[in-house]
DNA sequence: GTCTATATTCAGATAGAC
DNA sequence: GTCTATCTGAATATAGAC
């Protein structure tokens, strides 16, 4: 609570540096030296503050994965109608990813490559209640004749796919379509509205 | 041309082993020793047949990336109507991924992490003509009043997102929804039809 | 808490016999 | 072509002075 600069103390500096390096390079690609350099300290400090590379990684991973499903549960509890809930989730989800574009690939990749590193128990604890609530909302909407019948799991997969995948596939999209950085950003902005309407268009009766 | 077994010669054995290891662990996570073990030879052989790790990786990557967009160009040239083209692409694309479920994550991840390793030029050469043809087909369908106006890039992104992303997110999907391996396979089978209809439902006039 | 120097382990690559 | 043994460099981790 002293200086309150951004990188107040050494621990903060390390965590900030580790976050950048791990998210950019992944666990196996990251180098402790890179983290030390970026934090402007030396390698020995890393081990003073954090037992080893794995511990440091686990911290960063769990912190990062926690950002993946922000306030969706509150959103599901709100009194918005079903379609507006979809609109809100899509918009805020894409917005989160625009702010942190590397997170989806980072999380998905590490979950595939390092299934043991505690992410399973982490998510099982975290298991966002919003999934259950979302499934329920879908089933209700079907019963009420508001939308066409569809397996809720497919609908949820479709939604998150269209939100997250373009960021994962960004390098390929840029090559295949010829869009540049700024146009890509514009496209992602558009998707905050477009994806929701695309979904609603498809399921509404 | 002698034995014609599956792993006839050493080179084949190495390539098969390298393919498995690289796709599972990625470039930075793969170990030459793992490849040698899996190929049932020793490390020295790897360097006898392939200059170094990078060369071997580049080969595997390009071979693998080449599988990503199979015969789509032929398909676009066929005389199927627009909706049936979508149905065909979705079905055959998901089918390819079911056969090779790790490919999307592998390719996307390495393109992000190792943008220099020649994938850019590779895809610019390969640049599947089907994208241009697909865009054209979408624009035609809009002009003909067959479908609602939509930016072709968004439509293409939506389609490939829904096809590929569930495989990338598989570990998370299994945790969040509680589905097991076999149910997951069933879901993916269903998507060969479901995704196309979901899209068509959304855009048809 | 922070640093320099060093230990240790691991991984990629090579030499050289057969 | 194939192997064993070895070299070299890199990366994680630790010891110990300040």
Tell me which nucleotides of strand D come within 7 A of a protein CB: 1-5, 11-16
**What are A54-58's contacts with CB under 8 Å, separation 24+?**
A54/A117, A56/A14, A56/A18, A56/A22, A57/A18, A57/A22, A57/A27, A57/A30, A57/A117, A58/A117, A58/A118
For residue range B87-136, list pLDDT tens digits in order. Answer: 999 999 999 999 999 999 999 999 999 988 777 777 777 777 889 999 99
User: How is residue B3 annotated by DSSP?
Assistant: S
Q: How does the average pLDDT of chain B come out, rounded?
A: 93
Structure token digits, residue B53: 């790790």
- What is the pLDDT at residue B7? 63
Residue of chain B nearest A121, judged by CA positions: B175
CB atoms within 10 A of CB A70: 16
Q: Is 70 exceeded by the pLDDT of residue B3? A: no
Residue of chain A nearest B195, judged by CA positions: A158
CA A18 – CA A9 distance, rounded (Å): 14
- What is the pLDDT at residue A1? 38
CA angle B109, A63, A186 (to 5 degrees): 55
Averages of pLDDT over runs of 10 residues in chain A (205 residues) are 59 98 98 98 98 97 90 93 98 97 97 84 76 96 98 98 98 94 98 98 97
CA A132 – CA A73 distance, rounded (Å): 9
Q: Are B89 and B158 in contact (CB under 8 A)?
A: no
Q: Is 80 exceeded by the pLDDT of residue B8? A: no
- What is the pLDDT at residue B6? 53
Q: Do A166 and B157 touch (CB under 8 A)?
A: yes
CATH architecture of B8-60: Orthogonal Bundle (1.10)
Mean pLDDT value across residues B71-96: 96
Q: What contacts B48, CB < 8 A, 6 or more positions away?
A: none
Q: Which of A88, A87, A93 is nearest to A67 (CA)?
A: A93
Q: Do B168 and A173 touch (CB under 8 A)?
A: no
Q: Which residue has the higher pLDDT, A109 or B70?
A: A109
Chain A residues 7-36, Cβ below 7 A from strand D: 30-33
DSSP B44-108: HHHHHHSSSHHHHHHHHHHHHHTTSS-SHHHHHHSS--HHHHHHHHHHHHHHHHHHSTTHHHHHH
For residue range B134-157, list pLDDT tens digits in order. Answer: 999 999 999 999 999 999 999 999
- What is the pLDDT at residue A125? 73
Q: What are phi and psi of A134, to 5 degrees?
A: -65, -45
Q: Do A165 and B161 touch (CB under 8 A)?
A: yes
Structure token digits, residue A85: 């809930």
Residues in chain B: 205
**Closest chain A C-alpha to B7 CA, distance in angstroms:** 27
- What is the pLDDT at residue A6? 53
A44 touches strand D (CB under 7 A): yes
Q: Are B82 and B133 in contact (CB under 8 A)?
A: no
- What is the pLDDT at residue A4? 42
A41 touches strand D (CB under 7 A): no
For residue range B17-49, list pLDDT tens digits in order. Answer: 999 999 999 999 999 999 999 999 999 999 999
Integer distance in angstroms from CA A120 to C1' C15? 47
CATH 3.40.630.30 describes domain B67-203? no
- What is the pLDDT at residue B63? 94
For residue range B171-192, list pLDDT tens digits in order. Answer: 999 999 999 999 999 999 999 9
CA angle A66, B102, A106 (to 5 degrees): 25
Model pTM score: 0.95
Q: Do B177 and A131 touch (CB under 8 A)?
A: yes
- What is the pLDDT at residue A3? 40
Structure token digits, residue A134: 């979302």
**Closest chain B C-alpha to A164 CA, distance in angstroms:** 8
Q: Are B203 and B148 in contact (CB under 8 A)?
A: yes
Q: Would you list the domain boundaries of chain B?
A: 8-60, 67-203
CA B149 – CA B203 distance, rounded (Å): 8
């Amino acid at each position: 609570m002293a200086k309150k600069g951004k990188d107040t103390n050494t621990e903060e500096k390390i965590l900030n540096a580790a976050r950048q390096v791990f998210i950019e390079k992944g666990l196996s690609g990251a180098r402790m030296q890179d983290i030390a350099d970026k934090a402007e300290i030396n390698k020995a400090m890393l081990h003073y503050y954090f037992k080893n590379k794995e511990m440091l990684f686990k911290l960063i991973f769990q912190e990062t994965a926690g950002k993946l499903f922000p306030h969706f549960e509150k959103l599901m509890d709100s009194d918005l109608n079903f379609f507006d809930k979809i609109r809100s989730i899509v918009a805020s989800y894409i917005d989160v990813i625009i702010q942190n574009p590397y997170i989806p690939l980072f999380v998905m990749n590490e979950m595939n490559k390092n299934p043991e590193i505690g992410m399973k128990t982490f998510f099982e604890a975290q298991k966002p209640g919003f999934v259950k609530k979302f499934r329920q909302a879908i089933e209700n909407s079907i019963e009420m004749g508001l939308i066409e019948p569809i397996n809720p799991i497919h609908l949820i997969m479709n939604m998150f796919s269209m939100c997250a995948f373009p960021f994962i596939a960004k390098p390929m999209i840029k090559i295949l379509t010829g869009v540049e950085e700024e146009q890509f950003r514009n496209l992602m902005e558009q998707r905050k509205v477009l994806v929701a309407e695309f979904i609603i268009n498809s399921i509404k009766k």
